[in-house]
Structure 1
């Protein structure tokens, strides 16, 4: 194949891409030599494994190698598009997810996927035997076509972004930029994972603040590896869920003037872990009171009948006392 330009080597070049990611979950399991068990899907925004090759679409703004912004703009048929907005700026990254959860981290945590592998075809080609397969066009752009077959000593997870377990990958590499415009992972001749660019601009005008995370006061940030706030729910649903798990949800009633109440339920990530509710009261002062609630256990410092309450947040002592006094049923006094 002819020498290719390095797409991620010139920090003065900007890109806007619209991309499609398609995945066949049954085909992926077959490629890995494992029995197929339908269940929660691995594709962001897909709740359960649908049959066949299905996918979602993204818009990507990129200024390689440091700055990336990607948001989901189209879901699989029948699914509403939920918030999925990803920002990478050097070592720091943010991932704004549905409702108000925002995960963040640094390079050591592993940034969320933003199709950066398409700007770095060498992350696949160096692990494969590569055969030139002529030339063609994709989205009207001249491209070199390559067939890449993984070497026997390469573990499938090393090629995860490209589709694990493929016998071969067919790549259309943009002749002008070096970006992979289309990558198809095949097993027994059938495509089970496909990444493709469906629109592309080089050096477009940048929208104001495109690389700046536009988080608001109600966004809840948590570092990767920490437990996030959970799944946003309504107070009535939260009360029913709490009762099902052996405790009574305590809510401040009535709320102080100007305060905002939010409730999350937090299913345990392991069977041995407890089920929790998180109640947060955002106060007009800009501070908040956070109440972790779960089923009673011996030794809890704050216990109301069968509910344990752990208080945290940024509010001062007087604001915390006011929220505790308003709990229904009445909560205990706070001594520290």
Structure 2
């Protein structure tokens, strides 16, 4: 069975996967561009083993997904602009249905991708399976509802966002409100900025939350993360074929640990030592249990948090396209090598 990949051809994700296929001595995979999937309906057919890669980092693909999902013309968004999350998700659902109807054998089940990309639905699935997750507030339609909840420290996340886009870490103490976020307000629009900033003005914070709310919000109780030195941390753990293999430690001086925000990779061995072998093994087992919630999918990226004091852990998010960990090897394989090997073509 021949390998194929649905992705953005110029993206490094596709390049890294193709390189892994070449190292394995397999024929070069055929690339089906997201733009062609969305405009011409070109998808892999029967007899192909299909990797579905991220549609991100392409402004035209983003526009096409919002247009498909919204059922109306959409413009290319300015770089970093946060817009149309619900339409984008609806477009992804429709595009994945096209790919599934093509008849190829998919390495990621579309239903799994959609669940992982829908934060409220994913959180509910994990909680029902007994996976440790932070408490969630339930449906929130704006700032007034969040304020009225009585919760003092929360993470506010767009239901369908990624890369910390639109995420706010909010602390409320009486009349004092603080939000730490990568959101920048400019010209009446919201942008995902590479710099983390603090807002102390409730009116501004309320405005951000209210602008995000129509596309859906997921609110979780603030989980106190473990730290080493003066940096809090969490893990990205890639589980491939049911096994937790590749791990990256993400460290930060702010609540946002995403590496693209100027944060730093940490030392896996130092974290493992601090956690202790029992807690580390329990955390890896949790990541594998998370993957077990998506049995039709070869790989998942799990964002896992150790609790401050190293007593327990919780899952922050699950990522359908969370395997981009350049330079991280396990048994001499990167995440793409491991996936190609697991395909057993």
TM range (shorter): under 0.3
Structure 1 length as normaliser, TM-score?
A: 0.22
Which structure has greater strand proportion? 1
Q: Give 1 or 2 for the bigger CA radius of gyration.
A: 1
Q: Which has the higher contact order (CA 8 A, sep 6+)?
A: 2
Which structure has greater helix proportion? 2
Structure 2 length as normaliser, TM-score?
A: 0.22
